[in-house]
Amino acid sequence: MKSFALITVILTGWLLLSAVSDFPSWGDTESPANDYRLSQHYITETFPESSVPNMVTAVLADYRGYDTMFETVVIFVAGIAIMSILRRKPLDYLKDTGRETRSYKKDPDLIIDTTCRLMIPIIQLFALYVVAHGHHSPGGGFQGGVIFGASFILLALSRDLQAAQRWVPEKRVLNLAGIGILIYSGFGFACMILGSNFLDYEILHKIMPATPVEARSHSMLGVEIGVAFTCTAIMFSIYSNLASNGDMKETL
């Protein structure tokens, strides 16, 4: 069986490599991906059409905003899925294994505790910057959300899960994740209610103090914030479910 698997892998690799000679050469400006009207349009028209200097963000949150909404949903689904399979009520879990209840409190270590006390606010501030500045420089909701989620994970690592859960209890985590997607799709549905297509931000200038082109830019910031909410919450939810084996009591 193992040799069969090896043959399959070699054949697949050969198949994939066989087309490499057909590829355009590295960095070729004439290659279809660079030359075609699609990328040309993104490069030249992004700023006039959406007043966002960072064209990556514009492609992500506007031209292909529908994809990005569902990418956010993928993260949301991953969190819910892990929770729905792992999450157990702590009491049942202890009864199952016959393990004794013990105190989960660690003695706080002075150095670690102080360092994290200093680090966590800075990490969170930086996360907010990454989210807010996404349409001017590299960054955006996914990156910012992950950084923000990491700050809570750091808190949970340096003390224990309960300390982090005082800030983000389980229920609030789920609500935050749902609200994030609701913000994103809310922009879409608002466009629909105002009489345009889903996620066609231009129409939002009716309810925003902005020109139609600026409305696109502002809405992109809005949906990035939604993405950041979901990413933050799901990062922490996945960590706490995996690390505590689903009972939300003790961690690694």
Partner 1 sequence: MIDQSPALILLAPFLLAILLALLGIKREWLCFPLVIAGLAISVAASVVTLLRVIDEGTIQYFFGGWEPPFGINLRVDGLNALVALAVSTVSLLTAIYSKRAVPAETSDKVSQFYTLYLLSVTGLLGIVLTGDAFNLYVLIEISALTSYALIGMGSRRATLAAYKYLIMGTIGASFYLLGVGYLYIKTGSLNMYDIQEQIVANNLHGSPSIFVAFVVIIVGVWIKMAFFPLHSWLPNSYAYGPSTTSALLGPLVTKVMIYVMIRMILTVFGPEFAFDQLDWSNIIVWMSVIAILAASISALAQASLQKILAFLIIAEVGYMVGGVWLADKMGMIGSIYHIIADAFMTLCVFLFAGIIFTKTGRHDISAMEGLFTKMPLTMVGFLVGAFSLIGIPPTAGFFSKWYLIQGGISSGHYEYVAALLISSLINAVIFFRIIEIAYFGSKPAEGHGYHHNEEQKDGTMEASFSMLFPLLITAAVLLGIGLYNQEVVEIITNFVSQFNIGAIIL
Residue 194, SS3?
Answer: coil
Are 82 and 241 in contact by the 8 Å Cβ rule? The answer is yes
Contacts of 126 (CB under 8 A, 6+ apart): 147
Is 25 one of the binding residues for partner 1 (CB under 8 A)? Answer: no
Distance CA 105, CA 115 (A): 19
From the list 27-35, 93-101, 152-160, 239-247, the region that binds partner 1 by CB under 8 A is 27-35
Identify the CA nearest to 50 among candidates 202, 188, 195.
202
Q: Which of 1, 33, 110, 111 binds partner 1 (CB under 8 A)?
A: 33
Distance CA 243, CA 247 (A): 9
Q: Number of helices (H) and strands (E) in the chain: give both, helices first.
A: 11, 0
Q: Find the shortest distance in angstroms from Cβ 120 to partner 1.
A: 27
Is 93 one of the binding residues for partner 1 (CB under 8 A)? Answer: no
Give me the torsion for CA of 223, 206, 202, 75, rounded to 10°: 20
Is 206 one of the binding residues for partner 1 (CB under 8 A)? Answer: no
Contacts of 82 (CB under 8 A, 6+ apart): 237, 238, 241, 242
Q: Find the shortest distance in angstroms from Cβ 110 to partner 1.
A: 39
Is 1 one of the binding residues for partner 1 (CB under 8 A)? Answer: no
Distance CA 26, CA 193 (A): 46
Q: Which of 155, 181, 231, 235 binds partner 1 (CB under 8 A)?
A: 181
Q: Which of 1, 4, 5, 21 binds partner 1 (CB under 8 A)?
A: 21
Q: Which of residues 105-164 bind partner 1 (CB under 8 A)?
A: none
Q: Find the shortest distance in angstroms from Cβ 157 to partner 1.
A: 27
Q: Which of 9, 78, 118, 252 binds partner 1 (CB under 8 A)?
A: 78
Q: Find the shortest distance in angstroms from Cβ 242 to partner 1.
A: 15
Q: Where does this chain bind partner 1 (CB under 8 A)?
A: 15-16, 18-19, 21-24, 31-39, 41-42, 62-67, 70-71, 73-74, 76-78, 80-81, 83-85, 87, 89, 171, 174-175, 177-179, 181-182, 185, 188-189, 192, 196-202
